[in-house]
Amino acid sequence: MAACYLSGLRDALRHWPLVLVLFAAHLLAGMIFTAAGWSWLSIALDRSLATRSLLTNLDTSLLVDLFVHHAEGFRMLVLVGGVLAGVFLVVGVWLNASTVAVVGEDLSLGDALHRGLSLFPCFLRLWLVATAVNVVIVIGAYVLGRVSVRWTAESASDMTFYSIVGVTTVLALALLLVSVAIHDHARIRCAAAGPAALGAYIWAIVFVLRRDGRALLLMAALCGTGVALWAVYQSLGLLIVTDSTTGVTLSLIWGEALLASRMVLRVWFFAAETALQAED
């Protein structure tokens, strides 16, 4: 497992052009939505001083006032955001397919993007299956928590409620971790062997849940790396004061650094998991 973890990192760094494409796609999505939001904000506030003040000071009361007095325009902004989210979701499925093709078949970037188009139908079906499973997990954990709280409503200890919330949250996160691992390995299997989406998903369930548990250990290690990167980002981000244009600019640059690290991590995930399947 450790060899796959390190091999995945080397492959992620070796395929830096793909990382740049992923970074550019996510950056473009953020910039388009930011432009749409800022345009709406300028219209709603009639390009007043408050528009510029929000750049350096997110006044909560002003945002509430915008929601109350400009609800119709806000709903339009939400609609635009939903459309953009749908478009970039489709693009994201294609880019994930291209990423699997790059690390699994060692293709050039152009060939991988073309290969991603051929894998797109299978990857979209797998995304739908995985999303349905994740929704069931979240709803199941919520229902379990609500039922448990009702059963223990007469408990004299206040900690009973928090214990139930903690246990159900941990259980949901653990199941979601398993679901993510299954989804990743199903996509890799789909690209390598070409089965139907459901067949690849069933194969991935068996692969991930087998007795040696290497797939889950690898996923835990990669997720732990992601959490560590996020913690470093948050810790250093506290040193950036956003009460000026310079501070806001530095904060945005630091945010893009986090985005770039996430793209490296995304390729790292697929590369390490592909290496694990190759060892099997």
Asked if pLDDT for residue 155 goes beyond 80, the answer is no
Q: How confident is the model at residue 3 (pLDDT cuts 50, 70, 90)?
A: confident
Q: Are 2 and 8 in contact (CB under 8 A)?
A: no
Please tell me the predicted confidence (pLDDT) of residue 171: 94
Task: Write the pLDDT tens digit of every residue in 66-81.
Answer: 666 666 656 666 777 7
Q: Please give the backbone phi and psi of residue 127, each rounded to the nearest 5 degrees, phi first.
A: -65, -40
Q: What is the mean pLDDT of residues 91-101?
A: 92
Helix (H, G, I), strand (E, B) or coil at 243: coil
Count of structural domains, the chain: 1
Q: How confident is the model at residue 45 (pLDDT cuts 50, 70, 90)?
A: low
Please tell me the predicted confidence (pLDDT) of residue 193: 83
Task: Write the pLDDT tens digit of every residue in 124-153.
Answer: 999 999 999 999 999 999 999 889 888 887
pTM more than 0.75: yes
Q: Please give the backbone phi and psi of residue 46, each rounded to the nearest 5 degrees, phi first.
A: 55, 35
Q: How confident is the model at residue 253 (pLDDT cuts 50, 70, 90)?
A: confident
Please tell me the predicted confidence (pLDDT) of residue 7: 87
Where do we find the tokens 């690290």? Answer: 261
Please tell me the predicted confidence (pLDDT) of residue 57: 53
Q: Are 122 and 197 in contact (CB under 8 A)?
A: yes
DSSP state of 194: -
Tokens at residue 26, please? Answer: 């996510």
Q: How confident is the model at residue 49 (pLDDT cuts 50, 70, 90)?
A: very low
Q: Which of 15-24, 31-40, 160-169, 206-215 has the lowest mean pLDDT?
A: 31-40
Tokens at residue 21, please? Answer: 């494409």
Tokens at residue 264, please? Answer: 């490296």
Across the chain, mean pLDDT equals 83
DSSP state of 145: H
69 Cβ contact partners less than 8 Å away, ≥ 6 residues apart: none
Distance separating alpha carbons of residues 86 and 153, to the nearest angstrom: 42
Q: What is the mean pLDDT of residues 240-260?
A: 78
Most confident of 32-36, 82-86, 88-92, 135-139: 135-139
Q: How confident is the model at residue 237 (pLDDT cuts 50, 70, 90)?
A: confident
Burial class (CB in 10 A: 0-12, 13-18, 19+), 62: middle
Distance separating alpha carbons of residues 167 and 150, to the nearest angstrom: 15
- What is the chain's Cα-based Rg? 22
Task: Write the pLDDT tens digit of every residue in 159-212.
Answer: 888 888 899 999 999 999 999 999 999 999 998 887 788 899 999 999 999 867
Q: Which of 51-65, 83-97, 164-178 has the lowest mean pLDDT?
A: 51-65
> Structural domain of residue 216, as residue ranges?
2-279
Alpha carbon distances (Å) from 141 to 126, 154, 162, 179, 183 = 22, 21, 14, 14, 20
Residue type (1 letter), 273: E
Q: Are 102 and 10 in contact (CB under 8 A)?
A: no
Treating both helix axes as pointing N-terminal to C-terminal, what angle do 245-279 and 16-44 enclose, rounded to 10 degrees? 140
Distance separating alpha carbons of residues 11 and 19, to the nearest angstrom: 11
Tokens at residue 93, please? Answer: 């499925």
Tokens at residue 162, please? Answer: 């928090």
